[in-house]
Amino acid sequence: MFVPHCTYPIYPHVMDKDWVSASHVAGHAVVGELLGFECLGLTIRWTDQHLGVCRWPGMPDQVFDQLQFQRYGPADSEFDGVKDWVIRRTKSYLAGSVAEQQITGVFDLAWLTSDLNMISVVTRNVFGLEGPFFDERLTSEIYYDVDLGLEIEDLGRVVDRARELWEDEVHQLLMEHQQWLHLVAAKLRDEEVLSGDTMRSLNDHG
């Protein structure tokens, strides 16, 4: 059971969808920067579903190879680097909903699921391999929907496991950089789009 952290201020305009989106995306950007993912830009809206996005550089070649070909196993020297990338990216995605909760009091489970779906295959190709790092709960479940005639991917247990492993750490990172998080969220809410340089410049006020 996950107990919400309650040591943060809640802004009065929490029902503002732009503010909710800005809070979520700012969490991605701040924790991503802290974990080695350079923010290339942020926006509070990129689809008609009102979801914002933080843009990062493309995945490294070795991660792409693991995604496409499951090229490396635990005995390969490249595997640790791929695993490290997956864990850092998972934490950066998790930071969106954690930041949103810190600022608005609401944890958006659906958005987190959408975030983790972005790397579900490479996550499965790391933690689904037999060996010392095998963790079935970090692999999505695939089942066949007879009515739809489609295979459906269920990330429920991946979301739960990611929160169990890393939510407290992500929460602490955001608390340690709370002023930066709030400045990024507020500026993104006002301007709707920020460059990575602008986002990083706000850390000078922290």
Q: With cut-offs at 50, 70 and 90, classify the pLDDT of residue 57.
A: very high
* pLDDT tens digits along 75-85: 999 999 999 99
Q: What is the pLDDT of residue 159?
A: 98
Q: Is the pLDDT of residue 202 over 70?
A: yes
> What domains are defined for the chain?
17-205 (1.20.58.760)
Q: Is the pLDDT of residue 2 over 50?
A: no
Angle at 158 (CA atoms; ends 76, 162), nearest 5 degrees: 80
| 74 contacts 131 by C-beta, under 8 angstroms | yes
16: which 2 tokens?
């503002």
Structure-model confidence comparison of residues 153 and 177, the more confident one = 177
Least Cα distance to 42 among 205, 204, 183 occurs for: 183
* pLDDT tens digits along 155-187: 999 999 999 999 999 999 999 999 999 999 999
How much is the average pLDDT of 126-138?
A: 97
Q: How far apart are CA 93 and CA 89, in angstroms?
A: 6
| 113 contacts 51 by C-beta, under 8 angstroms | no
Q: With cut-offs at 50, 70 and 90, classify the pLDDT of residue 49.
A: low
Handedness of CA 167, 172, 173, 179 (dihedral sign): positive
Q: With cut-offs at 50, 70 and 90, classify the pLDDT of residue 48.
A: low
**Would the pTM count as exceeding 0.95?**
no
Q: With cut-offs at 50, 70 and 90, classify the pLDDT of residue 3.
A: very low
Q: How far apart are CA 186 and CA 199, in angstroms?
A: 11
Q: How far apart are CA 202 and CA 5, in angstroms?
A: 25
* Number of alpha helices (DSSP H) and beta strands (DSSP E) in the chain: 8, 5
* pLDDT tens digits along 7-40: 344 444 445 888 999 999 999 999 999 999 999 9
The rounded mean pLDDT for the chain is 90
Q: How far apart are CA 113 and CA 115, in angstroms?
A: 5
Q: How far apart are CA 105 and CA 18, in angstroms?
A: 15
Q: Is the pLDDT of residue 66 over 70?
A: yes
Which of 11-15, 21-25, 53-57, 145-149 shows the lowest mean pLDDT across its residues?
11-15
